Structure 1
Amino acid sequence: MELRQLRYFLAVAEELNFSRAAERCYVSQSAISLQIAKLEREMRAPLFERSSRSVQLTTVGTRLVSIARHMMDLEQAALALTARSRNQLRLTANMTFAANAIAAIVQVRERHPEAEIDFVLKRFAEQIEAVTSGDCQVALIRGSVERSGLDAIELWTEDLVVVLAEGHPLASETNPSLEQLADYPLLLPKRSEQILLHRVVERAMKRSGLRLSFGPPVALDHTASAELLNHPECWSILYASTADNTPKTGLVFRSEAQQRLRLPVSAVIDTSAPETAIQRDLIAALAETAPSSASISVTAPPPPASAG
């Protein structure tokens, strides 16, 4: 029995929905189902009653909930034994935020020469788990999180880039609108592999009263921008930082007319951990690294008044 299995079990037990539990844990639904099945084999009893319409806990599953929560509490207590000092902090993000992270760390070190700040690269799901476990004190992410005990502090808002093949009917439009894009299929990886981008487009389309259609899902070993050359009738979206490093041959890059394809960039922290001056100043410094075109949500606090 693994702690990961119990963590997934709790997510399903609280959501009573495998799809929502998978999104909450930032894994695919098949991964959740596989680990629950392994846990049930070890328990030698079903934990959920499944039907086409609902998921319900069995008697054994109901009893396991309190034990699983206790195990999660013990995990946190064990990790707390090696908690870092107030002068030490670990920031996690993916490689696209490396420049932001390093610039912010340099600024904070000028104000706090005693600070020891590590920058560690992790995948999205690992970043959230790192903050939850106490391994990292701040995660810099795109999007937000809805998990008890965590807070996502919005730093700035980033516009997504619309990508079209040069032969697409909308390629000549300076700023194609959602209404125009809705007439063509969207090309992205499967939802379970790129939940955030799917959510942004789905919500924007729904708010605008539009229907969204999809082209063939992009395989894990392919890129959406390259696949557009094979499916020029489709369109796709990229993060601005990704678009900057994407080959432009055969493609055009555009902004949505009304800037409806946007998502927040946030700093995720554990609300149960005491805030330090280094953490507070790091979050403010990260906000200052926002691209000049971004909508900034957080500003740095004023420097401390000089003595005398």
Structure 2
Amino acid sequence: MELRQLTYFVAVCEELSFSGAAARCFISQSAISHQISRLERDLGVQLFERSTRSVVPTDATTRLLPLAKQMLSLESAIRAAVRITGPRVRLTANMSFATRSLSAIASTRAAHQGAEIEFVIKPFRQRIAAVADGDCDLALIRGSVDQPGLTVEKLWVEDLVIATSAGHPLATRDVVTLTDLSKYPLLLPPEQEQVLLHTIIRSAFAEKPMGPTYGPPIPPDHTASMELINRPDAWTVLYADSSTEGLVVLKLAEHPLRIPVSAVLRSDVRRSPILATLLASLHRG
């Protein structure tokens, strides 16, 4: 049994999709499947019932999952315990924050010659765990998190955009309203995967005579672009820095839909000059 196999196992459990887990772990789907099969052989049990449409955890998976998460948490704690102290900061985020993060890192390195700043790609839950365990110094997230021992510092506010296919009935308009959009199906990931996005949409429609008309949830292994091409009458909401290739971005006549971006740090973290400069650079953008 290898720690990477447990990482892939947890990803498949949380995504309920081999392709979704592969995208999250930045490896191929065949590699994920191969490593899970090896883990099943090592343990002598079946962990997932696979079909062309679904991935269903078995009873053995239910028992293994909390232990696997504990093992991965211990790995982060071990790395944190043996880290060489010195002018180094570890920033964890996902790829959507790459441009702003790397710009802030470059500014910080220019101000602190010889500083080592790592940019570590992790999904949301692992980002929070890495900061809590001390493996990373700060994490970038959209929204907030309420967890003992962690501090959340608001950095900037990000606009959301309305997107449709080029064939949508509203695609040629200069501006649209939420009322205009309410009659067309809204495609979003399942709420359990994007709680904040669903909350923002509900709040935006709260005072409207009609709420959004929800279409089927976007599956974990599908993209919004493909879903909108297949459903030219539908619309979706994207982060402003998301790829919109092949889509039409519409201007909203009302107040823009916005989402806060925050830094998560340990409450007891010592803010070194490097960390302070990095946070200031992220604030400035």
TM (normalized to structure 1)? 0.64
User: How do 1:114-125 residues align onto structure 2 when only pairs under 5 Å count?
Assistant: 114-125=114-125
Partner of 2:163: 163
Distance 2:197 2:89 in 1: 30
Q: 1:236 to 1:117 in 2, by over 3 A?
A: same
1:194-233 deviations in Å (ceiling 9; x for gaps): 3332232223223657523311122222212221122222
- Contact conserved, 1:185 with 1:213, CA < 8 A, in 2? yes
How far off its partner does 1:78 sit? 6.1
Partner of 2:261: 265
Q: Secondary structure of the equivalent of 1:218?
A: coil
The reply to whether residue 283 of structure 1 matches residue 271 of structure 2 is no
- Contact conserved, 2:76 with 2:135, CA < 8 A, in 1? no
Partner of 2:107: 107
User: How do 1:169-248 residues align onto structure 2 when only pairs under 5 Å count?
Assistant: 169-206=169-206, 210-242=210-242, 245-248=243-246
Distance 1:124 1:138 in 2: 12
Partner of 1:92: 92
Question: How many residues in Structure 1 have an aligned counterpart in Structure 2?
Answer: 231
Q: 1:89 to 1:234 in 2, by over 3 A?
A: same
- Contact conserved, 1:138 with 1:267, CA < 8 A, in 2? yes
Q: Secondary structure of the equivalent of 2:176?
A: coil
How far off its partner does 1:122 sit? 1.2
Q: Secondary structure of the equivalent of 1:190?
A: coil
How far off its partner does 1:33 sit? 12
Q: Secondary structure of the equivalent of 2:220?
A: coil
Distance 1:33 1:284 in 2: 47
- Contact conserved, 1:187 with 1:234, CA < 8 A, in 2? yes
How far off its partner does 1:282 sit? 0.3
- Contact conserved, 2:150 with 2:267, CA < 8 A, in 1? yes
Distance 2:98 2:136 in 1: 16
1:222-246 deviations in Å (ceiling 9; x for gaps): 212221122222211111211xx33
1:250-276 deviations in Å (ceiling 9; x for gaps): x42113222341101221111122222
Moved more, 164-173 or 110-119: 164-173
Distance 1:178 1:148 in 2: 38
How far off its partner does 1:86 sit? 4.9
How far off its partner does 1:284 sit? 0.8
How far off its partner does 1:247 sit? 2.2
- Contact conserved, 1:79 with 1:133, CA < 8 A, in 2? no
Partner of 2:63: 38
How far off its partner does 1:142 sit? 2.0
- Contact conserved, 1:178 with 1:205, CA < 8 A, in 2? yes
How far off its partner does 1:38 sit? 2.4
Q: Tell me which amino acid in the other structure corresponds to 2:271.
A: E
1:92-139 deviations in Å (ceiling 9; x for gaps): 111122221221111111221142111111112211111111111111
Q: 1:207 to 1:82 in 2, by over 3 A?
A: farther
Partner of 1:252: 248
1:39-71 deviations in Å (ceiling 9; x for gaps): 8xx9xxxxxxxxxxxxxxxxxxxxxxxxxxxxx
- Contact conserved, 1:140 with 1:268, CA < 8 A, in 2? yes
Report the structure number with the largest CA radius of gyration: 1
TM (normalized to structure 2)? 0.69
1:17-47 deviations in Å (ceiling 9; x for gaps): xxxxxxxxxxxxx9999799528xx9xxxxx
Q: 1:33 to 1:183 in 2, by over 3 A?
A: farther
Q: 1:33 to 1:156 in 2, by over 3 A?
A: farther
Q: Tell me which amino acid in the other structure corresponds to 2:245.
A: P
Task: Note the aligned Cα RMSD (angstroms).
Answer: 3.5
- Name the % identity: 42
Q: Secondary structure of the equivalent of 2:214?
A: coil
Distance 2:136 2:102 in 1: 16
User: How do 1:63-82 residues align onto structure 2 when only pairs under 5 Å count?
Assistant: 81-82=81-82
How far off its partner does 1:83 sit? 5.1
